[in-house]
Homo-oligomer: A and B are copies of this chain.
Amino acid sequence: MNSKENPKTGSAPTQGLLRRYFPILEWGKSYNMQTATNDLVVAVIVSIMLIPQSLAYAQLAGLPPEVGLYASMAPLILYAIFGTSRSLSVGPVAVTSLMTLAAVAPIAAQGTPEYLGAAMALALLTGVILIILGFLKLGFLTNFISFPVMAGLGTAVGLQIAAGQLTPVLGIPSAGGTFLVQVISLVKNAGQINIYTASIGVPVVIFLLLVRKSMANLLTKAGLSKSLAGILAKMGPVIAIIITILVVSMLGLDKQGVKIVGKVPAGLPGLALPPFDFELWSKLLTPAALIAIIGYVASISVAQTLAAKKRQHVDPNQELIALGAANLGASLSGGFPVAGGFSRSIVNFEAGAETPAAGAFTAVGIALVALFLTPLLFFLPSATLGATIFVAVLSMVNFKAVVKTYNYSPSDAIAMALTIILTLTLGVIAGLMAGIGISLMMYLYRTSRPHIAVIGQIPGTQSFRNIGRYEDVVTSPGIASMRIDESIYFPNARLLETQVNELVASNPEIQHFILNCSAVNAVDASGLESLKSINLRLKEGGIAFHLSEVKGPIMDSLKKTLFYQELKDRIHFTHYDAVFSIDPKLAKQTMEHIKA
């Protein structure tokens, strides 16, 4: 429990600037041998799981395998210093790796130093953007990617990556690009399948699917604890790697066209600078911004979910800085863009990581592999790495979510479906942009036609509700009560005027009109004009205009206006007060009425 860090909700942390930007100073204080031992055990487990992931995502991004290892060291250490989540594990993940491929492939040829340089520059820009967003506290910008758009993007990206992995898994050459382009290309080249590659790739895919589906259950039944079983079930790729390395080297399958990783340079990454090239940077700026946003959205939701389980605190703006630092670290140690990964963080959490130090220890574990074990990876077939990715990304694909979302909110489902379709056909950037745009337009459309209800008093209470929805609601003929379920602002202000006009024009007996503002969260200048017009027109029609349940922040602004001066005696604290001030007898009678 770290409840003492933040004694007041919503207030700025009382700790100094240093502690705010270096959370390590906070948890470091109470770090001791016991925590260290614990974190060390976690690190061993996580680093074993991360090796195949790091190699595979490097392959997905079109980079040599050692780059995947490099991208898994510095970021972990930097996140341990700057991050506020105790469980988030940072490194190469599927979406950002794919986006790296999409951004860098048009600029340089795979396997060239220019390609690696561009990937490093991309990580640098991603890091800088994240840090700027963090210092300017602009993390909320990332909220404009709605849940359905993010989910739709996940499905489409999952499909696109899965399609792409059919190339290493089956040995079919493919053109790359969007899902659509890849599928066409795979169908065209289906005849060129490499039977040896496929005989490794397909069984590994099946094996990994089975492990994912039933291993945890089997192990639990065998008496293991649930979390240990879960962790072991995630070791499937490690087993697959060991077995396929043995098979390929023993049968000499690399001579049958089975692509292998080959010589992986041993050693640690040195400090490297990405090329300083303005033209290159300007080409990478948009992809970097998108990687920053997507990576951040994915990370923060994992971090918050895990933190909540232990009632821990995650600072969204500091997370931007931490993720930015991690990306800078990746760039300067010859890596590519990183983010907080879902499965790796879960393993970290389930294994019992207590502080970010577990991440730093994991980096040491990976460093040991990079130093001493790379010769063992020589015969590792690309098919195995492809199969690992293929199975991992399948869990991102979720078409049922469209149907489920449709049942709850059709407009959200439309945004989701369009995001999927456009990402599959035109690519990630087009899909994402369209998704954000559609979500915003639909929201604006909805708020421009708000729900407006005529309300009456519920007998036996001081509550007022929609007369069209509740029975036995009591109204007085001389009093009209209306509730608008939206802020009064320019897209709907005139609609409110029209509705009030109609209500009043069709009910000549009305002498008092009360607008219930319990659901009005803001009144902009257009809204104020409309309220003024309504007041003026009602006055000319001999009707008194009242307001009820106006929220504090709105009152603060209204008090500066002449409109308030004129209306102030008719602004009531509750709707009951308003009706009571006009017809006390009826209001009281209704409240005291007990339903039969």
Contacts and interface: CB of A to CB of B under 8 A. Distances in A.
A192 interface: no
A2 interface: yes
Interface of A: 1-3, 5-10, 140, 143-149, 300-301, 304-305, 307-309, 311-314, 316, 405, 407-409, 411-413, 416, 439-440, 443-444, 446-452, 454, 461-463, 465-466, 469, 485-487, 489-495, 497-499, 501-508, 518-522, 524-526, 528-530, 533, 536-537, 540-541, 551-553, 557, 560-561, 573-574
A411 B508 CA distance: 39
B525 A147 contact: yes
A490 B145 contact: yes
A507 B3 contact: yes
Given A448-B144, A491-B144, A492-B143, A518 B521 contact: no
Contact of A140 (B307, B449, B540): B449
A492 B147 CA distance: 11
Nearest to A537: B308
A408 B488 CA distance: 14
A409 B506 contact: no
Contact of A518 (B502, B504, B518): B518
Given A408-B528, A490-B143, A551 B507 contact: no
A9 B502 contact: yes
A534 B494 CA distance: 37
A308 B307 CA distance: 57
A284 to B, nearest CB: 26
A493 B143 contact: yes
**Chain B CB within 10 Å, residue with most, of A409, A413, A524, A537:** A524
B311 A541 contact: yes
A147 to B, nearest CB: 4
Contact of A2 (B145, B440, B505, B557): B505
A542 to B, nearest CB: 9
A357 to B, nearest CB: 21
Given A409-B525, A449-B140, A490-B143, A314 B485 contact: no
The 4 closest A-B pairs by CB, nearest first: A308-B537, A146-B490, A147-B526, A412-B525
Contacts of A463: 573-574
B143 A491 contact: yes
A297 to B, nearest CB: 9
Nearest to A560: B407
Contacts of A551: 451, 485, 519
A396 to B, nearest CB: 16
Nearest to A553: B451
Contact of A412 (B409, B524, B541): B524
A458 to B, nearest CB: 9
B522 A519 contact: no
Contact of A440 (B7, B444, B454, B465): B444
Contact of A443 (B305, B413, B489): B489
Given A311-B505, A495-B140, A525-B146, A9 B454 contact: yes
A452 B9 CA distance: 11
A560 B521 contact: no
5 contacts: A8-B506, A10-B452, A313-B505, A413-B525, A446-B522
A526 B146 contact: yes
**Chain B CB within 10 Å, residue with most, of A313, A452, A486, A491:** A491
Contacts of A146: 489-490, 524-526
B521 A451 contact: yes
A147 B304 contact: no
Nearest to A8: B506
Contacts of A489: 146, 443
A407 B309 CA distance: 45
A498 B503 CA distance: 42
B485 A521 contact: yes
Given A10-B502, A466-B552, A573-B463, A439 B541 contact: no
B451 A316 contact: no
B525 A495 contact: no
A149 to B, nearest CB: 8
Given A454-B9, A469-B552, A304 B497 contact: yes
Contact of A537 (B6, B309, B444, B452): B309
B524 A521 contact: no
Contacts of A313: 501-502, 505
A308 B485 contact: no
Contacts of A557: 408-409
A412 B1 CA distance: 44
A533 B302 CA distance: 11
Nearest to A503: B9
Nearest to A297: B494
A469 B554 CA distance: 13
A314 B9 contact: no
Given A143-B493, A452-B10, A314 B501 contact: yes
A443 B524 contact: yes
